[in-house]
Structure 1
């Protein structure tokens, strides 16, 4: 199952959808889901102003620097991606692995265009039979 989001295209939009997916009913409390998504959204919101400033500066200077002025934006997006991955790993260890779920950030091609976007994938972990002999 994938929860689509709107963060992509140089990270200009900064929000995952907080609507509770019906597939998770009975697996996780809606409040826990919303809290987790809100933490990810807060991380994106914190990094957006810096990224936008560097993107505008990079676009203005792009011709003079032969594109090198866009490197700070690439680095900031990579740092933001790592922060979200660490946050999702923390959420997994804190709660979701105990519930048989695994959250991860994944890159996918947009359905409407050739651009790439990041989505949060929620995977169901297989249950291991504990009474099976070794």
Structure 2
């Protein structure tokens, strides 16, 4: 699932999760992440426009609010994913995390949600 220029993650159910998690739970989790993005994005865009307009006069310092707001948005999504992991996905031996990677089509970076499969812990393991 990607978060790039469209500013939301795709809610399409991946076939690799079939039989591991209900499609409704998956869509509800993605919906919570997307609502977090939707709430934070308008503020980020306004500061970005203001920062770009004032960039020459402030020698780039006007871009600091944009950087801080982007970091805050990323942290809030990471906290939400951790909550989702603790609520449901760790019990299903899955782990969701936010990761940055290079776009396939250009040199820009994008954030993706990686869903990793955790190894099952043996029930009859001695203490």
Unaligned runs of 5+ in 2: none
State the match for 2:79 in structure 1.
Answer: 86
TM-score w.r.t. length of structure 2: 0.96
How do 1:6-25 residues align onto structure 2 when only pairs under 5 Å count? 6-7=3-4, 13-25=6-18
How many residues are aligned here?
A: 127
2:108 maps to 1:111? no
Separation in 2 of the partners of 1:26 and 1:34? 15
Aligned match of 2:93 = 100
Compute the TM-score of the two structures, normalised by the length of structure 1: 0.91
Instruction: Report the counterpart of residue 26 of structure 1 in structure 2.
Output: 19
4+ residue runs over 3 A deviation: none
CA deviation map 1:55-114 (0-9, x unaligned): 000000000000110110000000000000000000000000000100000111111111
Q: CA deviation at 1:14?
A: 1.7
